[in-house]
């Protein structure tokens, strides 16, 4: 063959390779052809000089082969299609709409959903798998893959849901998914389990924002599953202290030999196992291990009557699957998930097309937190590195040195008239922290230092050093009526005491003083010129999750006040799984706000940087603005309630307010208009965030006994629910 002929043949071969890049049979047909030939993924991967998981991705539709492997893969499939044609349409084994053309040179086939596959029978089991006990669809059958749940219509990649709970049944590992689906798990080792999850399980969750990332598939391992994969059901004392499995454990060695990697946190209660990204695609699986403390009772369970340890795998999948569907796939603690939800809904970057080159590049989102900025001394906690050498080691910073925007905790003595009322009734604000974020303008950029007595601007979020000791609310007037401010807490301090001099305040606190009619004269300030309603989508998603869960418990926004109180009382005995879901959603809201100023947990020495400081969402100024807003909203409603009904709170603890009352119900307390409607601006009963519910009722005699017993160091609001200190499920 001459050189000219060789060049022509090479050109034709290159052209044929290019033509073969487009048409390939659908992913399900690729798998059928391989299995019909009795070939394994390993054999094909070795022949194509590719990774086995890459072949699995091609068959699952997660990725497509690229040249030169694509042409060789197409040639293989064409040959297999010739030897193993698709069954005829009238055959009982036919797979409709998946017939493969004899040559892959025509137009690319339209994508077709994967067909339902009949599960193989396990030894000792009947041909028809038994239904799951907790299936939402009665009679749902055990299957390797059944018809996808409703959500799969929008994203078939994750047709089996965001997560699965792995258990052992009749000697076989099974995966309980959402919607009652149960999958047989063929993997015998942990690395094989990761490969199965990435290539065949079809688990995961679509991104919450077009510029975000899909959630990694999550596997929850029961104790039986831990034993099956060679993991301990309990950690040693040393491992519990470290929060991770010993790095010398044999399973970790298995993971390393398989080419898998762990994050810096190691193998703990929440573990991420991943391959290095291939073709820019993330390949990671998240493990949740409740037996190692992944789901603590303070966030996910009932402290007094824990239910998760005895919950079946199917019910646990329903519980966590509902949380993932309404909030997001858990990333760890509820607080960690809460702050991760902020970034998932407001990603820092987006893809932007370059007009000159036509290529896509990364660009910053103007409505997101996009960078780490210099911190402000007054906004950071005592252990922050920026404060090193500023004060003696145990110095207690004063309000003019530190921004003290914290939840309100206040209690006062009852007056003689209040002691004549028999009851103390507590009302609690629904989702108070989340409600305060609704339409809240927060800083998005770095701080700008204003000096020389700057003028106050309520549109600039930040911290202001200002003296509010002149704000006297002792004879305040609201709606033409005088209010006795001495029986109300001050809205400007966490203790409710009157400020005594200059102090640092967040913008909402100073703006409230202006709204009350007082002049303010800031001394200096740190403000953010770039601002926006960063938390709006976060609030919307948590609000919707909260309302949907309350509806499952029988409480809806359209109820009148009496029906609402009755429904709330009945909800205590409703679905336990939904009650736990409600607690987790509320903890996500509170914990997410608290995470904005996550403190060192002793993992590093004082004044040394801790890991949380590396997050773009470590923003203590935003947390301060939220807590300031909570106090302001509560105080404004307390003022209007006092003006409308001449009643005053005797105690406040975070989001719970206690009033003396002639009756045991909030209906005996809250003011209404003559036509039976709540007075505008006062506390209103209802299920929506920002409205209130009944927290508890005690007698005035009980309160007096507690005051005497505790020497006055007693906050009624923290004990109003059942006479004992309330569980602190806050930040």
| Residue 279, pLDDT score | 77
**Residue 656: which of 489, 498, 475 has the closest Cα?**
489
Give the rounded distance of the alpha carbon of 280 from its chain centre. 25
Residue-wise pLDDT tens digits, 43-75: 888 888 877 767 877 887 767 787 778 888 888
Question: 69 CB contacts (<8 Å, ≥6 apart)?
Answer: 48, 49, 50
**Residue 436: which of 633, 145, 700, 218 has the closest Cα?**
633
Residue-wise pLDDT tens digits, 332-367: 999 999 999 999 999 999 988 888 888 888 899 999
CA distance 293 to 19: 54
Is a pLDDT exceeding 70 seen at residue 100?
no
Higher per-residue confidence, 530 vs 120: 530
**Residue 380: which of 353, 408, 401 has the closest Cα?**
401
CA distance 590 to 620: 14
| Residue 506, pLDDT score | 98
Rounded mean pLDDT of 104-122? 34
Q: What is the CA radius of gyration of the chain?
A: 31
CA distances from 244 to 147, 251, 252, 300, 621 (A): 38, 13, 11, 20, 33
Token pair, residue 439, equals 């339409």
Q: Domain of 40: which CATH number? A: 1.10.260
Higher per-residue confidence, 522 vs 44: 522
Residue 160 is classified by DSSP as: T
Residue-wise pLDDT tens digits, 405-428: 999 999 999 999 999 999 999 999
**Residue 185: which of 211, 167, 203, 207 has the closest Cα?**
167
CA distance 232 to 680: 59
Does one domain contain both 97 and 160? Answer: no
Does one domain contain both 176 and 97? Answer: no
In a domain, 127, yes or no: no
| Residue 40, pLDDT score | 83
| Residue 723, pLDDT score | 62
CB 669 within 8 A of CB 663: yes
Token pair, residue 510, equals 């100073």
CA distances from 448 to 461, 528, 592 (A): 11, 6, 26
Residue-wise pLDDT tens digits, 276-311: 988 778 899 999 999 999 999 999 998 888 999 999
The 3-class secondary structure across 675-719, one letter per residue, is CCCECCCCCCECCCCCCEEEEEEEEHHHHHHHHHHCCCCCCHHHC
Question: 567 CB contacts (<8 Å, ≥6 apart)?
Answer: 554, 555, 556, 559
| Residue 27, pLDDT score | 87
In a domain, 385, yes or no: no
| Residue 4, pLDDT score | 62
Does one domain contain both 213 and 310? Answer: yes
In a domain, 540, yes or no: no
pLDDT band at 28, cuts 50/70/90?
confident
pLDDT band at 169, cuts 50/70/90?
very high
Sign of the CA dihedral 284, 285, 286, 287? Answer: negative
Does one domain contain both 167 and 296? Answer: yes
Is a pLDDT exceeding 50 seen at residue 119?
no
Phi, psi for residue 670 in degrees, rounded to 5: -70, 145
Query: In the block, which residue shows the tokens 């937190």?
Result: 369
Prior bond to 133 cis, omega within 30? no
Lowest mean pLDDT segment, chosen from 68-72, 319-323, 726-730: 726-730
Beta strands 218-221 and 349-353, pairing class: unpaired
| Residue 345, pLDDT score | 97
In a domain, 347, yes or no: no
CA distance 436 to 625: 9
Is a pLDDT exceeding 80 seen at residue 707?
yes
CB 523 within 8 A of CB 502: yes
Does one domain contain both 76 and 157? Answer: no
In a domain, 392, yes or no: no
Rounded mean pLDDT of 195-201? 96
Higher per-residue confidence, 350 vs 17: 350
CB 650 within 8 A of CB 659: yes
Give the three-class secondary structure for 218.
strand
| Residue 602, pLDDT score | 83
Q: For the chain, give the percent of residues with pLDDT over 70.
A: 86
In a domain, 228, yes or no: yes
In a domain, 42, yes or no: yes
Record the pTM: 0.79
CB 506 within 8 A of CB 405: yes
Is a pLDDT exceeding 50 seen at residue 107?
no
In a domain, 404, yes or no: no
Residue-wise pLDDT tens digits, 273-285: 999 988 778 899 9
Give the three-class secondary structure for 85.
coil
CB 347 within 8 A of CB 209: yes
| Residue 142, pLDDT score | 40
Does one domain contain both 188 and 307? Answer: yes
Does one domain contain both 235 and 160? Answer: yes
CA distances from 510 to 487, 504, 593, 622, 635 (A): 21, 10, 21, 15, 14
Domain count, the chain: 2
Residue-wise pLDDT tens digits, 555-608: 999 999 999 999 999 998 888 889 999 999 999 999 999 999 999 988 789 999
Is a pLDDT exceeding 80 seen at residue 511?
yes
Q: How many residues does the chain have?
A: 731
Last residue of a domain, one of 271, 290, 325: 325
Rounded mean pLDDT of 98-108? 32
Does one domain contain both 159 and 103? Answer: no
Is a pLDDT exceeding 70 seen at residue 16?
no
Residue-wise pLDDT tens digits, 653-662: 999 999 999 9
| Residue 304, pLDDT score | 86
Rounded mean pLDDT of 263-282? 91
CB 508 within 8 A of CB 515: no
Last residue of a domain, one of 83, 109, 135: 109
Rounded mean pLDDT of 366-380? 96
Does one domain contain both 300 and 238? Answer: yes
Last residue of a domain, one of 266, 292, 325: 325
Does one domain contain both 298 and 161? Answer: yes
Give the rounded distance of the alpha carbon of 134 from its chain centre. 24
Residue-wise pLDDT tens digits, 493-510: 999 999 999 999 999 999
Is a pLDDT exceeding 80 seen at residue 137?
no
pLDDT band at 10, cuts 50/70/90?
low
Does one domain contain both 311 and 256? Answer: yes
Q: Which residues make beta-bridge pairs with 213?
A: none
| Residue 9, pLDDT score | 57
Is a pLDDT exceeding 70 seen at residue 672?
yes
Token pair, residue 129, equals 């798998």
Does one domain contain both 164 and 64? Answer: no
Sign of the CA dihedral 43, 45, 49, 51? Answer: negative
Find the helix packing angle between 576-595 and 334-345, rounded to 10°: 70
Mean pLDDT (the chain, rounded): 86
| Residue 8, pLDDT score | 58
For residues 664, 665, 666, 669, the Cα torsion angle rounded to the nearest 10 degrees is: -50
**Residue 185: which of 137, 120, 269 has the closest Cα?**
120
| Residue 152, pLDDT score | 35
| Residue 82, pLDDT score | 81
Higher per-residue confidence, 532 vs 40: 532
Q: Which domain, by its residues, includes 259?
A: 150-325
């Amino acid at each position: 063959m001459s050189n000219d002929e060789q060049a022509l043949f090479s050109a034709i071969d290159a052209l044929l390779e290019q033509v073969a890049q487009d048409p390939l049979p659908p992913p399900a047909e690729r798998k059928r052809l391989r299995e019909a030939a009795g070939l394994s993924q390993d054999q094909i991967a070795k022949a194509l000089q590719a990774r086995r998981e890459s072949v699995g991705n091609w068959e699952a539709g997660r990725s497509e082969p690229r040249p030169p492997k694509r042409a060789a893969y197409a040639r293989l499939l064409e040959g297999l299609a010739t030897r193993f044609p698709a069954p005829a349409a009238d055959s009982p084994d036919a797979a409709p709409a998946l017939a493969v053309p004899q040559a892959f040179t025509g137009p690319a086939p339209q994508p077709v959903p994967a067909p339902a596959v009949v599960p193989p029978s396990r030894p000792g089991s009947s041909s028809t798998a038994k239904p799951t006990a907790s299936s939402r669809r009665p009679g749902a059958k055990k299957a390797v893959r059944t018809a996808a749940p409703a959500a799969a219509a929008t994203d078939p990649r994750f047709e089996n849901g965001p997560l699965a709970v792995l258990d052992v049944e009749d000697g076989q590992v099974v995966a309980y998914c959402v919607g009652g689906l149960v999958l047989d798990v063929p993997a015998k080792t942990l690395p094989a389990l990761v490969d199965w999850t990435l290539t065949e399980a079809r688990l995961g969750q679509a991104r919450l924002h077009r510029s975000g990332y899909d959630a990694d598939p999550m596997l929850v391992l029961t104790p039986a599953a831990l034993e099956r994969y060679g993991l301990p059901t309990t950690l040693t004392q040393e491992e519990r202290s470290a929060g991770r499995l010993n790095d010398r454990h044999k399973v970790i060695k298995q993971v390393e030999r398989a080419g898998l990697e762990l994050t810096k946190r190691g193998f703990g209660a929440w573990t991420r196992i991943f391959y290095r990204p291939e073709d820019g695609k993330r390949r990671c699986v998240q493990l949740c291990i409740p037996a190692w403390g992944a789901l603590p009772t303070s966030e996910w369970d009932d402290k007094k009557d824990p239910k998760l340890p005895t919950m079946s795998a199917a019910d646990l999948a329903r519980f966590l699957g509902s949380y993932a569907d309404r909030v997001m796939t858990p990333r760890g603690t509820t607080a960690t998930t809460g702050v991760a939800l902020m970034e998932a809904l407001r990603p820092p970057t987006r893809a932007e097309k370059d007009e000159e080159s036509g290529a896509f590049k990364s660009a910053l989102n103007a409505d997101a937190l996009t960078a780490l900025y210099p911190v402000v001394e007054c906004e950071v906690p005592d252990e922050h590195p920026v404060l090193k050498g500023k004060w003696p080691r145990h110095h207690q910073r004063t309000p003019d040195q530190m921004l003290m925007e914290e939840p309100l905790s206040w209690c006062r003595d009852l007056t003689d008239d209040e002691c004549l009322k028999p009851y103390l009734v507590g009302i609690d604000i629904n989702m108070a922290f989340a409600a305060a974020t609704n339409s809240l303008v927060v800083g998005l950029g770095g701080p700008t230092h204003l000096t020389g007595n700057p003028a106050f601007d309520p549109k600039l979020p930040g911290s202001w050093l200002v003296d509010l000791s002149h704000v006297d609310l002792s004879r305040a007037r609201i709606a033409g009526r005088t209010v006795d401010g001495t029986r109300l807490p001050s809205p400007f301090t966490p203790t409710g005491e009157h400020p005594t001099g200059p102090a640092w305040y967040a913008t909402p606190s100073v703006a409230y003083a202006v709204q009350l009619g007082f002049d303010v004269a800031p001394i200096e300030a740190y403000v953010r010129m770039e601002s926006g309603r960063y938390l709006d989508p976060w609030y919307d998603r948590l609000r919707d999750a909260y309302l949907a869960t309350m509806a499952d418990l029988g409480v809806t926004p359209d109820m009148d006040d009496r029906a609402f109180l009755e429904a709330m009382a009945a909800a205590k005995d409703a679905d336990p799984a939904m009650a736990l879901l409600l607690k987790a959603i509320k903890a996500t809201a509170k914990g997410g706000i608290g995470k904005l100023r996550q403190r060192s947990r002793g993992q590093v020495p004082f004044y040394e940087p801790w890991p949380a400081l590396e997050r773009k969402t470590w923003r203590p100024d935003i947390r301060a603005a939220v807590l300031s807003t909570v106090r302001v909203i509560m105080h404004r409603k307390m003022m209007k309630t006092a003006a409308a009904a001449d009643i005053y709170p005797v105690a406040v603890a975070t989001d719970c307010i206690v009033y003396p009352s002639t009756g045991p119900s909030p209906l005996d307390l809250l003011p209404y208009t003559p036509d039976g409607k709540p007075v505008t601006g006062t506390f209103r009963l209802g299920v929506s965030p920002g409205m209130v519910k009944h927290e508890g009722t005690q007698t005035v005699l009980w309160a007096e006994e507690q005051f005497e017993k505790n020497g006055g160091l007693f906050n009624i609001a923290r004990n109003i629910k059942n006479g004992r200190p309330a569980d602190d499920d806050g930040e």
